Amino acid sequence: MKKEVKSQVSRQDLPEAAAPMNDWLNTPVLRIMEKGLDASSLRQRVLANNVANVDTPGFKRSDVNFQVALESALGQSGVLPLKETLAGHLAGTQSPATVQIKKDSATSLRNDGNNVDIDKEMADVAKNGLYYDSVSQAIQSQLGILRKAIQGQP
């Protein structure tokens, strides 16, 4: 007598300790690093806009305050679930925290009212690039640990 084998395993068949793959990637450390990458990406776009408008009369530089962005990311206690319209959708998360772009209207370096200092902007672009790279490497390290755990490596 042959025993019938199920071709698909449902979540109810899994032990309680087993979590879906997307839950393994939804750790507090990875969420904070994701916020760091998002803020750094936004800052890069803002800095690029400043550089592009270095010769625009009356243009005022903008910047993203990383301290406020990090405090906002760390201060939130939870995340809001995305709406699942179909049963096959993966559960995602959406952050209620937003990063503020601040316009610097207080200073003016030139007679035309533009306050963009190209040297400062390029230094900020380089600093932001280093930050982005370091957070990317940290995420890569975290995912490497997960990969080793999945493969059963020490």
Alpha carbons 26 and 22: distance in angstroms, whole number = 6
Please give the average per-residue pLDDT across 36-42, as a whole number.
90
Please give the average per-residue pLDDT across 78-107, as a whole number.
60
pLDDT tens across 109-133, in order? 788 999 999 999 999 999 999 999 9
User: pTM of the entire structure?
Assistant: 0.66
| 40 within 8 A of 135, measured Cβ to Cβ | yes
First and final C-alpha spacing in the chain: 42
Please give the average per-residue pLDDT across 141-149, as a whole number.
88
Confidence of residue 66 (pLDDT cuts 50, 70, 90): confident
Confidence (pLDDT) at 137: 96
Strand (E) positions, the chain? 62-64, 80-81, 93-94, 101-103
Confidence (pLDDT) at 7: 43
- Point out which residues pair with 64 in neighbouring strands: 101
> Poorest-confidence range of 15-29, 31-45, 118-132?
15-29
Per-residue CA distances from 145 to 8, 19, 25, 35, 128 (Å): 29, 17, 11, 20, 26
